[in-house]
Amino acid sequence: MEHPEYKVMILDNLASLTFGIDENIKEDYDPINQWLISLRFRGISVIMVHHAGKGGEQRGSSAREDNIDISIELSHPVNYKPEDSAAFNIEFKKARGVYGQGAEKFNIRLISEGDMIRW
């Protein structure tokens, strides 16, 4: 491996990085999937940002999730207002190896206390 110190790759966002392919056709995504699998075998974890479609589910072929270990959905709480600070519902849509309480849906909010900021 050319850079063995690289252990994590962040791709933001899937739609802009796969310009020109039909996101609804599994075969169009196959070469990208094979590349992602090759990164896994090289010991590189990939964090991929992907936007939900109009119905709230992932856009495009569901085959994108076949080889991933964890899929996390972020959404805003009911009655969320941006002036209330950053707040999210976090739900594991797919979680290989995550069980029990660790896999339960939870909420986080960014809190500013004096000169400190915490979740």
> Which residues of the chain, if any, have pLDDT below 50?
none
pLDDT given at position 1: 58
pTM score: 0.76
Are residues 60 and 75 located together in one domain of the fold?
no
User: Distance between alpha carbon 115 and the CA centroid of its chain, in Å?
Assistant: 30
Are residues 63 and 37 located together in one domain of the fold?
yes
**How many domains are contained in the chain?**
2
- Rounded to the nearest integer, the mean pLDDT of the chain is 86
Contact 67, 30 (CB under 8 A): no
Are residues 62 and 81 located together in one domain of the fold?
no
- Residue 56 CB neighbours (<10 A): 8
Local structure of 89: helix, strand or coil: strand
Q: Are strands 70-75 and 116-118 parallel, antiparallel or unpaired?
A: unpaired
Are residues 9 and 62 located together in one domain of the fold?
yes
Domain around 21: 1-68
pLDDT given at position 50: 82
